[in-house]
């Protein structure tokens, strides 16, 4: 049985980035691991095709301030007036803090959404791929995308939807799957996104 076990992040400073993400998520990743590995070089300017959404809760302003204190910074990626705050980790990887009332908030505390860019025409193929590869199940279909969970009450979800950034080199963030009888290495999903398989 293959299992989605976490996210791999390429990092120039593995120790700093590991500490940041442990503190940023408050280790509330529902058994998934955020694992930082040495990067071959600095991040390029293109948008990551995978990012995290964190639920800010009713005190989302204080949560944003806490994350800024950990080393995050505000970034403008053209989001405009939206019900979330866009931040970047110490090495420039974007993530979002969702405000109460956002449709992605399953519970105002403890939620982490793993957001994967998927073009609208690829949405169902990608959903089927990840349901077969990770044994997660679709729980929502909307205009904005598809949400998968490994359990109905899980506070972690995998969200697939547009916009899909053009593929421009190796993804800085990748999903990680454990599969005992596979050879470890990098593979690609139905949309060309890399994912990492551990044996």
Over the stretch 4-44, which tens digit does the pLDDT of each residue have?
888 999 999 999 999 999 999 887 777 788 999 999 888 87
Question: Given this model, what pLDDT does residue 178 score?
Answer: 79
pLDDT of residue 104: 62
**pLDDT at res. 24:** 94
Highest mean pLDDT among 65-74, 111-120, 138-147: 65-74
Residue 180 has pLDDT above 70, yes or no: no
Tell me whether the omega of the peptide bond preceding residue 99 falls within 30 degrees of 0, making it cis: no
* Residue 6 near residue 35 (C-beta atoms within 8 A): yes
Domain locations along the chain: 3-198
- CATH number listed for the domain at residues 3-198: 3.10.180
Asked if the model's pLDDT at residue 164 lies above 80, the reply is no
Highest averaged pLDDT of the listed ranges 13-22, 120-129, 139-148, 190-199:
13-22
199 pLDDT band, cuts 50/70/90, is low
Cα angle 55, 56, 60 (rounded to 5 degrees) comes to: 165
| pLDDT value of position 108 | 40
Q: Which residues in 110-126 are b (16+ Cβ under 10 Å) and which e?
A: bbbbbbbbbeeebbeeb
Q: What is the pLDDT of residue 96?
A: 92
Given a contact cutoff of 8 angstroms between Cβ atoms, the answer to whether 107 and 57 are in contact is no
Mean per-residue pLDDT for 74-100?
90
pLDDT on residue 100: 83
CB atoms near residue 48 (< 10 Å)? 19
Mean pLDDT of the chain: 83
| pLDDT at residue 133, as a whole number | 76
User: What confidence tens digit (pLDDT) does each residue in 98-131 have?
Assistant: 888 766 665 444 578 888 888 888 888 888 888 8
């Amino acid at each position: 049985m293959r299992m989605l076990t976490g996210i791999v992040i390429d990092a120039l400073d593995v120790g700093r980035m590991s500490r940041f993400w442990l503190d940023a998520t408050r280790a509330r990743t529902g058994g998934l691991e955020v694992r930082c590995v040495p990067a071959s070089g600095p991040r390029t300017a293109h948008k990551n095709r995978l990012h995290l959404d964190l639920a800010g809760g009713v005190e989302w302003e204080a949560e944003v301030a806490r994350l800024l204190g950990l080393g995050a910074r505000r970034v403008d990626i053209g989001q405009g007036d939206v019900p979330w705050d866009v931040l970047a980790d110490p090495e420039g990887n974007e993530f979002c803090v969702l405000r109460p009332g956002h449709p992605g908030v399953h519970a105002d505390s403890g939620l982490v959404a793993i957001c994967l860019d998927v073009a609208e025409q690829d949405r169902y193929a990608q959903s089927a791929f990840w349901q077969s590869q990770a044994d997660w199940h679709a729980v929502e279909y909307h205009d904005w995308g598809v949400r998968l969970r490994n359990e109905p009450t899980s506070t972690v979800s995998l969200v697939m939807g547009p916009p899909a950034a053009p593929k421009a080199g190796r993804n800085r963030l990748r999903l990680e799957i454990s599969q005992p009888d596979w050879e470890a290495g990098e593979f690609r999903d139905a949309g060309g996104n890399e994912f990492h398989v551990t044996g």
